[in-house]
Amino acid sequence: MKLDAKNRIQTTPNADNCDYLKNMTLTSVTARQPHLIQALQTLALRVDHVQAADTLLHELAGITVLVARKFTNDRTADGLLEAFYLTTGCVSLGISLANIPDSDESRLSFLLHHGAEQVFQMGFRHIKELASLPCYTLVADFDNDPYIQQRNIKALFSELCRAEPNSSWTGDDQYRNELLNRRKNQNIVECAKWLRKKHYAGAIKDTDLDANAVIAIALIFAILNDGRIVARTGQQEIENLIRNARETPPDIEAGWRELLRKVPAEYQAVLGSHMDEYRNTIIKKILSKIKVKTVVTEIQNCYAGTEQEVDYD
């Protein structure tokens, strides 16, 4: 068994390992079990289940051997057992995320129709797609390194797909939550990239990106409503912003509306949530009588992140 060029499973199981895995006992529990275990238990209730069960177990054994070779250890019983847990969870993830009715019979029918190998591929594809989304809003050039990408896939695979048959499993719920978080991060990152492209002094092309800092800078400078989109700044510019805002109090909401008017619709909600956060925090401090140096320090430390130029002390 091996991975092809698209990281799909090709199964050629070892007979000894297959026998070991076929003889493993799957213990029933009352808690929510992995979907694969539920499907196998449903299959066991059928009168004519022997041939289908043998086919599924043969496929699962082959997949498990590959998982052991790639992720655990195919030379030890512990390595094979751990690989079986990962296989169980990955097949269960494929079943859970399929658009099928929520019933044991539906899960079993889906598994028998597609086969364990293909359902495993579905689950593993979901893991790869999740790994391609940013887990943080800080983006670095090394994130594109193939080694780092493979490491991230392995980490997610181990975290979400490990499913012991005699324990409850929530890997699919964790996947859905993580997917929502990462899609949110992706939207923030894309919004920041757009702001960088529109930076008043010319597009910013650095590969490293602090997305929340870009958004913070853009919103803070937008209160002046001077027509600029500011995606990177320095200490002197921040000081000038604060002094200008205090000398002539700006119409903050008008400035933000003007920025929103320029921004693509898909990023407006991102900016809106940040506006709600800043309106009664840093914006109030900018317009207050707090020492300019104190407010500048807070903006530099808490908002501007790595998206600031070092101009002077």
- Per-residue confidence of the chain (313 residues) as pLDDT tens digits? 444 444 444 444 444 444 444 444 444 433 589 999 999 999 999 988 899 999 999 999 999 999 999 999 999 999 999 999 999 999 999 999 999 999 999 999 999 999 999 999 999 999 999 999 999 999 998 888 899 999 999 999 999 999 999 899 999 999 999 999 999 999 999 999 999 999 999 999 999 999 999 999 999 999 999 999 999 999 999 999 999 999 999 999 999 999 999 999 999 999 999 999 999 999 999 999 999 999 999 999 999 999 998 765 5
Judge residue 226's burial from the number of C-beta atoms within 10 Å of its C-beta, 0-12 exposed, 13-18 middle, 19 or more buried: middle
Contact between 53 and 124 (Cβ < 8 Å): no
Whether 162 and 20 map to the same domain: the answer is yes
**Residue 67, pLDDT score:** 97
Q: Which domain holds residue 259?
A: 191-309
Whether 29 and 107 map to the same domain: the answer is yes
* 102 domain residue, yes or no: yes
* 200 domain residue, yes or no: yes
Q: How far is residue 66's CA from residue 73's CA, in Å, rounded to a whole number?
A: 10
* 261 domain residue, yes or no: yes
Final residue before a domain boundary, out of 123, 138, 169: 169
Whether 15 and 148 map to the same domain: the answer is yes
Contact between 295 and 242 (Cβ < 8 Å): yes
Whether 19 and 116 map to the same domain: the answer is yes
Whether 202 and 163 map to the same domain: the answer is no
Q: How far is residue 260's CA from residue 219's CA, in Å, rounded to a whole number?
A: 10
Final residue before a domain boundary, out of 136, 169, 202: 169
Whether 299 and 197 map to the same domain: the answer is yes
Query: How far is residue 272 from each of residues 36, 52, 212, 307, measured CA to CA in Å?
Result: 42, 54, 13, 20
* 183 domain residue, yes or no: no
Whether 231 and 138 map to the same domain: the answer is no
* 185 domain residue, yes or no: no
Which of 297, 199, 309 has the alpha carbon at shortest distance from 242? 297
Whether 219 and 272 map to the same domain: the answer is yes
* 26 domain residue, yes or no: yes
> Which residue type occupies 292?
V
Whether 21 and 155 map to the same domain: the answer is yes
* 177 domain residue, yes or no: no
Whether 50 and 145 map to the same domain: the answer is yes
Whether 154 and 23 map to the same domain: the answer is yes
Final residue before a domain boundary, out of 107, 139, 169: 169
* 130 domain residue, yes or no: yes
Which of 52, 56, 54, 61 has the alpha carbon at shortest distance from 13? 61
Q: How far is residue 53's CA from residue 59's CA, in Å, rounded to a whole number?
A: 10
Whether 156 and 217 map to the same domain: the answer is no
Domain count, the chain: 2
User: H or E stretch including 13?
Assistant: none
